């Protein structure tokens, strides 16, 4: 019996329309096999670049319909979603530029040298696509981390067909985006099956287990991501699983920084934790602030700014229920105060806020461990530390994170001093260390790294930025292969004009 997939308005909780049906195991098998059969058509880099740029064009043309559906399904608002669509089309075009340049192929040639001991054979190395990639869409970014998002863009850029498991929070948006990508494939002469979308929880499980799926990218919860990660590892042939699972994103505010600009830091923190109704994977979930007069000023500023923030709608009713239960659990702990009480904001709404606790309560395992776990939504934990030892003890208990932030004073920003020591302490905890800013907002740029130690991610790779393409490639070396048999990318005359390293020297 077919299981319907409904589009739901989180502002009202009402079903909007039936969008699709959940895919069966047989349908997953057919979709993956079709994607695998389409893989050879993606071998031409020129065509791949055209696909990515055409997909961006088609998404922009369909923009009004996509934005209308996305707002109706997520309540994120036209302004936020318009920016996200721009981000999505930008990263598609950015990966097209990367494909054109060709440096991602990482071509290295070492010519034979019989004078070495032992003699060196002729070695030629580059990277090739893994195969079909399974992408698991995120709830909180219906465009940039979903069907046309960074995982899909980078996989297509690498030459890998993509099967996307759509998120149940925005199925209509997913179908509209899939239509744009599939039309783009046809427009540039590629099989439509280089991109496919499926729906349903069981479909996601079947997808990661399929023998023709060669890698997977996931953005979501620790529980769901870990289950899929374990399934990927348990296959007869394990596959890479690049999962972004969860992050507390700690913020450390030094006493000197609080003395210097407590009000500014408090207002900035309020803006960061309430941005997008707190539904960013890099929302600051734990803030270590000093005791004392400067810390009190900071808390007063934070209280005023958060109190002025409006109630908002979370992405779905389940997340709302989890948020309300999570903040209640935290607020009821002995010694925890709620200067601005987060929680139920009325029908389908949540109220932003924060809780405060002495940092000493967090230095040892026990009843307060919930305060060191991510709570998805507009809430943060402010832990007031009295001594450097308390601060260090709390940092020592933190798992891996996407980000870690340091707010330091102007004097502490010198090259040798407490600022440098704090950055060195935070570096092992996160993939991105922010100084005197806020982690919300992940720039799509070549140098960006959006990842971190487990449980932030299950690998050392990034899901944002140009190097995200590396997840879907593997190196292969040809030894003493006759010139006529070499791939074009590895020939001495370099007919494709690729950047490469030859006999230890970089060639542009």
93 Cβ partners below 8 Å, 6+ apart? 52, 53, 56
DSSP 58-122: HHHHTHHHHHHHHHHHH---HHHHHHHHHHHHHHHHHHHHHHHH-GGG-EEEE--BTTSSSPBPP
DSSP 303-346: HHHHHTSPPB--SSHHHHHHHHHHHHHHHTSTT-EEEE--EE-S
Chain position carrying tokens 């922010």: 434
User: Which of 160, 177, 281, 375 is flagged as catalytic?
Assistant: 281
| 457 DSSP 8-state letter | B
DSSP 389-400: HHHHHHHTT---
Q: How far is CA 381 from CA 199, 284, 299, 354, in A?
A: 36, 9, 12, 6
| 291 DSSP 8-state letter | S
CA nearest neighbour of 402 among 245, 269, 271 = 245
- Residue 281 falls in the annotated catalytic set: yes
User: Which of 73, 244, 255, 412 is flagged as catalytic?
Assistant: 244
CA nearest neighbour of 216 among 90, 224, 102, 74 = 224
Beta-ladder partners of 219: 244
Q: Which residues are catalytic?
A: 244, 281
């Amino acid at each position: 019996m077919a299981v319907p997939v409904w589009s739901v308005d989180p502002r009202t909780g009402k079903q909007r329309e039936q969008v699709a049906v959940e895919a069966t195991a047989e349908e997953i098998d057919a979709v993956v096999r079709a994607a695998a059969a389409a893989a050879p058509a993606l071998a031409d880099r020129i065509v791949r670049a055209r696909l990515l740029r055409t997909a961006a064009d088609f998404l922009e043309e369909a923009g009004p319909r996509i934005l209308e559906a996305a707002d109706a399904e997520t309540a994120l608002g036209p302004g936020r979603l318009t920016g996200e669509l721009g981000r999505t089309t930008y990263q598609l075009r950015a990966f097209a530029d990367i494909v054109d340049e060709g440096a991602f192929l990482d071509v290295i040639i070492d010519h034979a040298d019989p004078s070495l001991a032992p003699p060196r054979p002729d070695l030629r190395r580059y990277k090739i696509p893994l195969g079909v990639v399974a992408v698991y869409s995120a709830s909180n970014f219906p465009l940039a981390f979903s069907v046309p998002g960074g995982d899909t863009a980078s996989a297509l850029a690498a030459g890998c067909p993509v099967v996307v498991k759509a998120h149940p929070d925005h199925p209509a948006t997913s179908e509209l985006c899939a239509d744009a990508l599939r039309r783009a494939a046809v427009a540039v002469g590629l099989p439509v099956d280089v991109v496919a979308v499926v729906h349903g929880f069981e479909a996601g499980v079947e997808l990661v287990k399929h023998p023709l799926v060669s890698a997977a990218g996931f953005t979501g919860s620790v529980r769901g991501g870990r289950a899929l990660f374990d399934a990927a590892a348990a296959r007869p042939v394990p596959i890479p699983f690049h999962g972004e699972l969860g992050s507390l994103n700690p913020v450390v505010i030094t006493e000197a920084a609080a003395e210097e600009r407590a009000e500014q830091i408090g207002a900035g923190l309020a803006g960061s934790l309430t941005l997008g109704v707190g539904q960013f994977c890099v929302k600051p979930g734990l803030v270590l602030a000093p005791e004392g007069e400067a810390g009190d000023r900071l808390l007063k500023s934070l209280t005023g700014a958060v109190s002025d923030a409006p109630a908002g709608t979370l992405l779905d009713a389940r997340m709302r229920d989890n948020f309300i239960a999570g903040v209640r659990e935290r607020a009821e702990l002995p010694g925890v105060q709620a200067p601005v009480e987060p929680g139920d904001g009325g029908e389908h709404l949540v109220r932003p806020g924060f809780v405060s606790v002495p940092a000493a309560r967090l230095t040892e395992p026990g009843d307060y461990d919930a305060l060191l776990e991510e709570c998805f939504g507009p809430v943060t934990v402010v832990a007031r530390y009295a001594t450097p030892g308390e601060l260090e003890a709390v940092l020592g208990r933190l798992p891996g994170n996407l980000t870690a932030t340091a707010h330091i004073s102007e004097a502490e920003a010198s090259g040798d001093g407490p600022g440098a020591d704090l950055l060195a302490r935070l570096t092992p905890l996160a993939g991105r260390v922010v100084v005197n800013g806020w982690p919300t907002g992940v720039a799509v740029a070549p140098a960006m790294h959006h990842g971190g130690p487990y449980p932030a991610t299950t690998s050392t790779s990034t899901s944002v930025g140009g190097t995200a393409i590396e997840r879907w490639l593997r190196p292969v070396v040809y030894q003493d292969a006759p010139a006529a048999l070499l791939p074009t990318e590895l020939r001495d005359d370099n007919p494709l004009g690729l950047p490469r390293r030859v006999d230890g020297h970089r060639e542009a």
